[in-house]
Amino acid sequence: MFCELLGEKNCCISYINFQKSLCLLVGICESPYDAEWIRSLLKKTIEVCDPEGDLGTTAVIGGFYTEANQLYDSYIEAFALERKRCFYEYSGVFYVEDATEEQQENGYLLQNDDFIQRLVAAMRQNQRSLVKEMLRTFADSLALLQPSREQFLLQINQVSSALLDFAMEYGVTETVEKNSKLFSSDYIEISSVSEIQTELIRYGEQILQQVHLSKNSSNSAIVRRTKEYIKAHYQDDELCLEQIADALDVNLQYMCFLFKKQTDTTIGAYILQTRMEMAGRLFQRTNYNVTEVAQRVGFFDVSYFSKCFKKYFGVSPKQYQNVSSNYLKTT
């Protein structure tokens, strides 16, 4: 049909390439000699073969060349453009020079650093709906720029690597990585943007689910980092839950829930425990008085410190200090 539309003085050879695409090698001997003419013929052919548009046919036109040894260049141009258009799931007839101008206009990529920071922050706060929407929007925004397939995959890889780092931080890497195409040999063969988008969202959701279900405290970075922060800042008399949550960039309620779940104690109780143990050590190893010890473990109110200390150790700070002092003298 296409050959008939070309006319008797022009010729066309067809074959199927390894991607199972129909390729038409066209020889033009008379005017008109332009892409729009070829585009119109392809559109007519598609309309006859698929009048309802149900097939979603994609047709691409490579460059026009006068030398036989340049035919391969035209094929490669068309092949690359076809892969890109099919990747973005576009149907219609496209010319390689149109794509070149389009690439120059949209020849920049998204800046991922800020997005990744916001994404990780949302994951730390266990905001599953927000994470899902962020990943969906990222893939959609990147698709609007229409970078090459390789550039698209590179940008997606940066985000999926950030997700992997997050999974490693929480000790669930092995669980989630095995089931994701993003980290398998199948990744480069993913055929479309929507397939990648679906896989990226699924991977993010799977990580959050595994982190939430994890019962092993040694694998919980939030619990570990909370403990580390308390040990580093227990001397601060203004240390509070809000300060810890802000420093760790996590949701306060989720942090408290996870800490209680995995340690069977509250963060407030752990702060008190840390302060009391450090106070006991100071009484044992130094000559600081009660006021000095109280201030060094984060208590501005000495009387409140004494009350907490007696409740924790069963004796007053002064009694504990005397016992420790006598013990050191006898040893």
Q: What value, to the nearest 5°, has the Cα angle with vertex 112 and ends 110 and 118? A: 130
Pairwise pLDDT comparison (250 vs 297), residue with the higher score: 297
Q: Answer whether residue 289 shows pLDDT above 70.
A: yes
Q: Answer whether residue 178 shows pLDDT above 70.
A: no
Is the peptide bond preceding residue 51 cis, with omega within 30 degrees of 0?
A: no
- Based on DSSP, count helices (H) and strands (E) in the chain, helices before strands: 16, 4
pLDDT of residue 48: 87
Query: Tell me: the pLDDT tens digits for 87-99?
Result: 777 778 888 877 6
Among 288, 307, 294, 309, residue whose Cα is nearest residue 237: 294
Q: What is the mean pLDDT of the chain?
A: 81
The answer to whether 81 and 58 have CB atoms below 8 angstroms apart is: no
Query: Tell me: the pLDDT tens digits for 149-175?
Result: 777 888 888 888 888 888 877 777 655
Residue 93 region by backbone torsions, left for phi larger than 0, else alpha for psi between -120 and 50, else beta: beta
> What is the distance, to the nearest Å, from the Cα of residue 195 to the centroid of all Cα atoms in its chain?
16
Q: Answer whether residue 18 shows pLDDT above 80.
A: no
Among 36, 32, 42, 40, residue whose Cα is nearest residue 12: 42
Q: Answer whether residue 209 shows pLDDT above 70.
A: yes
- The token duo for 146 is 């229409």
